[in-house]
Amino acid sequence: MIRLRPSSLGLLALTLTSLSCKKTPPSTLDLSAMTHGAGVFFAVGASIREENSRALVLRSPDGVSWNEVALAAPGSLVMLAPGGPGLVAVGSTRLPLDPAGAGGTSGAAGSGNPAGQAGASGQAGAGGQAGASGQAGAGGTGGQAGAAGQATGGGAGAAGASAGAGGEAASGASGQAGAGEAGSGASGQAGAAGDPGSTPMNTGEDFPQEARGLVMVSTDGLQWQTASNPPPEPLRDVAALDAAMVAISRQRIYRSSDGNVWLEQPVGAATDERWTQVEAGNGRFVVLGKRPAVSTDGRTWQPVTTIPEGELRGLRFSEDAFYAAGKVGGFFGGVGEDGCVLLRSVDGVQWAPVQGAAPGCAIDVASNGSQALVLTSQGVHEASSFRGPWSLRSTLEDETPLRLEYAGRWVLATRDGLWGSPDGRAWRRTYTP
């Protein structure tokens, strides 16, 4: 029998007290966008605690009462749009890279690769898991990693190699490659995604990290799943038209028909593009950037030459037309102060400035049919239509404005909160983390 002496009891009590008093660091909210779809308002962003971020979705049926939807995906969401599967949200995630492949994720086995090395097309899902379910064929001729990050492959007669969450590699015809080195021999090696056969360098105790695309889909806005085959790079925006969805990264455009599998669409020289926003309406997609483009199906893109290179943003489809706001210098005669202009287009190809002075460089625009609002760094401006004249109705102090929406009432998203208004003039904060 072991007896605790008083000093030991005191030490034990002190230890338990210390443990029980340890506080969890508070999380901070970092919103990126807000939209309305399927009769519900949604706001997306990230919940950040210390150096870790988790994808965040807020949901509200009325724009007043907001509830957080529980998500397990690490990373950050930047935009959400109604789409073919219901709702699709895009952003980025950071997954640790280890010598066995991205966080235990195996890419598609390269065709004709007898060693069964990982190919370039495998994509990471949430929490470092692989995307589309499937197994690599013998001889490394095809297939992708399964949901648990497993991939069987390797040379003839190989029983398979698995890139899991931990453990050490086993040499020979079969084995497992976890956080340690990849299995050698007939089972092949799992290289970094996008670099067949390569192994990212481990510079210390922590593995290096690489930003990747994050796509989440939902049929009801309550239950969300990570896409099985998202784009391999961080995404900036997404839009949906019928059963087609288009997402953009900084240099590429991707299309999907189900929200799970995304394919890159060729649009000029990727190194020359700088995509910033995408919007859908009137049976077509419009993307803004260094070289704006338009498409009716998300596959074939036509360059837009009536918009100059500039700092355009606030791309919205409203009142049966596209609107874009920003600064384009003297291309349109310097409409508005400091070259700021509000542009309008019905087809996304031919653009012209809206007559009337723009109320500064707009961040976003929205309309309910009888009332138009423009969001600038100063605050919320109101007019009866996008032609103005504009009146500053509300100022934003110490807030970073993001987006406006109307669906029965006005909702405004800022970087760290949400606001509501019945008339677009008097605003009340409705959500604070």
Q: b vs e for 327-354, b when ≥16 Cβ sit within 10 Å of the residue's Cβ?
A: bbeeebeebbeebbbbbbbeebbebebb
Closest CA to 393 of 408, 375, 406, 405: 375
Extract the tokens encoding 223.
Answer: 């239950």
The answer to whether 230 touches 247, Cβ cutoff 8 Å, is no
Which pLDDT value is given to residue 172?
Answer: 34
Helices (H) and strands (E) in the chain, counts: 1, 32
Which pLDDT value is given to residue 24?
Answer: 55
**Count of CB atoms within 10 A of residue 388's CB?**
19
Distance from C-alpha of 353 to C-alpha of 351, rounded to nearest angstrom: 7
User: Strands, DSSP E only, in 301-339?
Assistant: 302-303, 311-318, 321-327
Polymer length of the chain:
433
| CA pseudo-torsion sign 317, 323, 325, 329 | positive
Distance from C-alpha of 105 to C-alpha of 130, rounded to nearest angstrom: 5
Cα angle vertex 306, ends 303, 308, to 5°? 90
Extract the tokens encoding 35.
Answer: 């939209």
Closest CA to 418 of 45, 165, 115: 45
Distance from C-alpha of 116 to C-alpha of 110, rounded to nearest angstrom: 7
3-class DSSP assignment, residue 289: strand
Q: State the burial class of residue 33 (Cβ atoms within 10 Å of its Cβ: 0-12, 13-18, 19+).
A: buried
Distance from C-alpha of 35 to C-alpha of 19, rounded to nearest angstrom: 42
H or E element in which residue 12 lies:
helix 6-20
| CA pseudo-torsion sign 239, 71, 50, 99 | negative
Distance from C-alpha of 253 to C-alpha of 270, rounded to nearest angstrom: 9
Closest CA to 321 of 359, 289, 352, 293: 352
H or E element in which residue 340 lies:
strand 340-345
Q: Are strands 401-406 and 410-414 parallel, antiparallel or unpaired?
A: antiparallel
Q: Are strands 160-163 and 150-151 parallel, antiparallel or unpaired?
A: antiparallel
Which pLDDT value is given to residue 357?
Answer: 62
User: Strands, DSSP E only, in 38-188?
Assistant: 40-49, 52-60, 67-69, 76-83, 86-98, 101-102, 150-151, 160-163, 174-177
Extract the tokens encoding 323.
Answer: 């609107």
Per-residue pLDDT of the chain (433 residues; tens, 9 = 90+): 333 334 343 433 333 344 444 555 567 889 999 999 888 999 999 988 877 889 999 999 999 999 999 888 899 999 999 876 689 999 999 764 333 333 333 333 333 333 333 333 334 333 333 333 333 333 333 333 333 333 333 333 333 333 333 333 333 333 333 333 333 333 333 333 333 332 232 223 333 457 899 999 999 899 999 999 999 999 999 999 988 999 999 989 999 999 999 999 988 654 566 889 999 999 999 999 888 899 999 999 998 888 766 677 789 998 889 998 877 755 555 455 567 888 899 999 999 888 766 677 788 999 998 999 999 888 999 999 888 888 999 888 888 899 999 999 999 999 989 999 999 999 999 998 7
Distance from C-alpha of 264 to C-alpha of 252, rounded to nearest angstrom: 7
Closest CA to 40 of 418, 364, 322, 405: 405
Task: Please report where in the chains the tokens 């901070």 appear, as a residue.
Answer: 28
* Long-range CB contacts for residues 269-274, cutoff 8 Å, separation at least 24: 274/250
Q: Name all domains of the chain by residue range, CATH numbers in brackets.
A: 82-93+213-431 (2.120.10.80), 100-199 (no CATH)
Extract the tokens encoding 176.
Answer: 């497992």
**Count of CB atoms within 10 A of residue 263's CB?**
13
Distance from C-alpha of 405 to C-alpha of 414, rounded to nearest angstrom: 12
